[in-house]
C-alpha cells in the first residue's frame, strides 16, 4: 500500500501509551524478554498444566497488556452471534455460526486489519516462542492448532480475538431471584433485550450475561466515554482501536493455542480515507510537468508536416456526413453485409459473456 508508512505513523504512537500504571504495553513486554528483567512471566494456572497465563514479572498478578491496531470488523457488539428464535439475524453473521440458545458457543468476535501493521502477529508469535521454551509447558508434546497459528502468510491479513456472550450462573454473578429486566445480573453494562429474551426462555440452562464481556469506549480530548453514548456508537472499519487484554495458552486434547481475552476496546482515532482508498492516485505515475492542458478559446497550432491536415479532415467529415447511403450493388453484397453484422453481434455477445463471467468470478472471489 502506497501510504503504509503514513498509516503506521498514526497507529504506532497509540501502541506506546498506557491508560493505567498497571498496564504493560505489548511492545515493551516483548522487548523485555531479551533483557535480564522481563516484564512478564508464564506460569501454569492449575496443577494439571493445561492452561498457562502471563503474569507481571515474577509476581502472581495477571499481566494486563495493551496494544492498538486498525479495526477491520466485529460481530454485533451487544449480542455477538446470538439471535433468539423468531428474530432476524444481523447481516454478516455466517448461517452456521448463529446460536439461538444461551450456551458456550455464543461468542463475540473482533478483528484487526493486519495488512499494514502486522505487529499483533509478530508479538503473539514471540509470546508463543516464549511459553514453549518452558520445559513444563505442553509435556504431552501436542501440536499447535492451525487456527491463527501464523504459519501461512496468506492467512495473516486479520487477527481475531473473542469473548463469550454468556457465562455459567453462580452466586457471584447473579442474585437468587429472577427478574424480567435482568436486574439480578451483576454486569457492568446494559443488557441487550435479546440476551434477556434468551435467558428467560431457557432458565434451565443456568446462564447469565458474561460479566467479563469487554467494555467499549471512545477517547477524545483526554476523556473516555462509553461508545454507545457517542455520535458513532459502534467501531467502524479503519478506526484506530486500543485493546486491553490478558493472554492464556491452552493445551487441549487436539493441540494447544493462544487465547487473547479482551478487557476493553477504545477508539482513539481514525485512518483518513485518503490513506486507505483502493483508488490510490499515488500508485499511478503522473504525466510530465511540461504537459499543458487545452484552454477554452485558445487557438491551436497544428504540429504536423502537412499544414492542410486540419482543414482537410474537417472537409472530409462534412462530406461524409451529407453523402447518401450506399446500396448493395448485388444480392451477394447485401448478404455479405448482413452476415458481417451477424458476426459482429455474435462476437460482441461472446465478449459480453466473458465480461460477465469475469465480473461474477471477481465477485465470488471477493
Question: Buried (b) or exposed (e) across 97-130, using 16+ Cβ within 10 A?
Answer: bebbebeeebbbbbbbbbebbbbbbebbbebbeb
Q: What angle do CA 148, 151, 154 make, to 5 degrees?
A: 85
What would the mean pLDDT of 7-17 be, rounded to a whole number?
Answer: 97
Over residues 25-68, the pLDDT tens digits come to 999 999 999 999 999 999 999 988 999 999 999 999 999 999 99
The CA distance from 124 to 151, in Å, is 12
Q: What residue spans define the domains of the chain? A: 3-76+118-165+213-275
Question: Quick one: which of 246, 243, 213, 214 has its CA closest to 61?
Answer: 246
Q: If DSSP codes are grouped into helix, strand and coil, which group holds residue 227? A: helix
pLDDT tier at 287 (50, 70, 90 boundaries)?
A: low
CA angle 267, 270, 276 (to 5 degrees): 140
Question: What are the E-state strand segments in the chain?
Answer: 23-25, 40-44, 51-56, 64-74, 107-113, 158-164, 166-168, 207-209, 215-220, 223-226, 239-252, 255-270
pLDDT tens-digit readout, 110-127: 999 999 999 999 999 999
Given a contact cutoff of 8 angstroms between Cβ atoms, the answer to whether 99 and 105 are in contact is yes
Beta carbons of 25 and 18 less than 8 angstroms apart: yes
348 vs 85: CA distance, rounded Å: 50
Could you read off the pLDDT of 124-139 as tens digits, one per residue?
999 999 999 999 999 9
Banded model confidence at residue 313, pLDDT cuts 50, 70, 90: low
State the pLDDT at residue 68: 99
Give the mean pLDDT of 20-29.
Answer: 97
Q: How confident is the model at residue 324 (pLDDT cuts 50, 70, 90)?
A: low
pTM score, whole prediction: 0.75
Distance CA 184, CA 169 (A): 11
Q: Round to whole Å and give the CA distance between 41 and 56.
A: 6
Q: Which range in 152-161, 169-178, 283-292 is most confidently predicted, on average pLDDT? A: 152-161
pLDDT at 318: 55
Q: Categorize the per-residue pLDDT at 358 as very low, low, confident or very high, splitting at 50, 70 and 90.
A: very low
Write the CB contacts of 317 (distance below 8 Å, at least 6 apart in sequence): none
pLDDT tens-digit series, residues 192-204: 999 999 999 999 9
pLDDT at residue 170, as a whole number:
84
Query: Phi then psi for 305, rounded to 5 degrees?
Result: -65, -30
% the chain with pLDDT above 90: 67
pLDDT surpassing 50 at residue 361: no
- Helix/strand/coil for 162: strand
Average pLDDT, integer, range 308-327 = 56
Task: Tally the residues of the chain.
Answer: 366
What is the pLDDT, as a whole number, of residue 306? Answer: 59
The more confidently predicted of residues 264 and 294 is 264
Strands 64-74 and 239-252: antiparallel
Mean pLDDT, all residues of the chain: 85
The residues facing 70 across adjacent strands are 113, 240
Q: Which pLDDT score, from 0 to 100, does residue 117 have?
A: 97
Q: pLDDT band for position 293 (50/70/90)?
A: confident
* Dihedral sign computed on CA atoms, order 93, 120, 147, 249: negative
Amino acid at each position: 500500500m502506497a501510504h503504509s508508512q503514513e498509516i503506521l505513523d498514526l497507529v504506532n504512537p497509540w501502541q506506546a501509551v498506557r491508560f493505567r500504571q498497571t498496564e504493560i504495553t505489548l511492545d515493551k513486554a516483548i522487548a523485555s524478554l531479551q533483557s535480564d528483567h522481563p516484564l512478564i512471566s508464564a506460569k501454569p494456572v492449575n496443577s494439571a498444566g493445561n492452561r498457562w497465563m502471563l503474569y507481571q514479572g515474577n509476581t502472581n498478578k495477571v499481566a494486563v497488556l495493551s496494544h492498538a491496531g486498525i479495526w477491520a470488523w466485529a460481530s454485533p457488539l451487544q449480542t455477538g452471534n446470538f439471535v433468539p428464535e423468531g428474530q432476524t439475524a444481523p447481516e454478516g453473521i455466517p448461517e452456521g455460526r448463529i446460536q439461538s440458545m444461551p450456551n458456550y458457543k455464543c461468542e463475540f468476535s473482533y478483528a484487526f486489519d493486519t495488512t499494514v501493521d502486522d505487529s499483533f502477529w509478530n508479538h503473539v508469535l514471540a509470546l508463543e516462542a516464549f511459553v514453549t521454551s518452558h520445559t513444563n509447558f505442553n509435556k504431552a508434546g501436542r501440536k499447535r492448532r492451525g487456527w491463527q497459528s501464523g504459519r501461512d502468510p496468506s492467512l495473516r491479513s486479520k487477527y481475531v480475538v473473542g469473548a463469550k456472550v454468556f457465562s455459567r450462573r453462580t452466586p457471584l454473578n447473579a442474585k437468587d431471584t429472577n427478574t424480567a429486566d435482568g436486574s439480578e445480573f451483576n454486569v457492568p453494562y446494559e443488557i441487550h433485550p435479546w440476551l434477556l429474551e434468551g435467558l428467560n426462555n431457557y432458565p434451565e440452562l443456568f446462564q447469565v450475561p458474561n460479566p467479563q464481556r469487554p467494555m467499549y469506549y471512545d477517547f477524545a480530548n483526554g476523556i473516555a466515554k462509553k461508545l454507545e453514548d457517542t455520535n458513532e456508537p459502534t467501531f467502524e472499519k479503519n478506526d484506530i482501536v486500543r485493546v486491553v487484554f490478558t493472554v492464556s495458552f491452552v493445551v487441549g486434547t487436539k493441540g494447544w493455542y493462544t487465547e487473547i481475552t479482551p478487557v476493553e476496546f477504545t477508539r482513539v482515532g481514525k485512518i483518513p480515507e485518503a490513506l486507505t482508498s483502493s483508488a490510490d492516485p499515488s500508485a499511478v505515475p503522473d504525466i510530465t510537468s511540461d504537459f499543458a492542458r487545452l484552454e477554452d478559446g485558445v487557438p491551436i497550432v497544428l504540429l504536423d508536416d502537412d499544414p492542410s491536415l486540419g482543414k482537410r479532415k474537417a472537409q472530409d467529415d462534412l462530406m461524409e456526413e451529407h453523402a447518401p447511403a450506399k446500396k448493395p450493388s448485388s444480392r451477394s453484397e447485401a448478404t455479405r453485409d448482413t452476415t458481417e453484422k451477424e458476426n459482429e453481434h455474435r462476437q460482441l455477445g461472446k465478449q459480453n459473456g466473458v465480461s460477465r463471467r469475469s465480473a461474477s468470478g471477481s465477485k465470488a472471489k471477493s
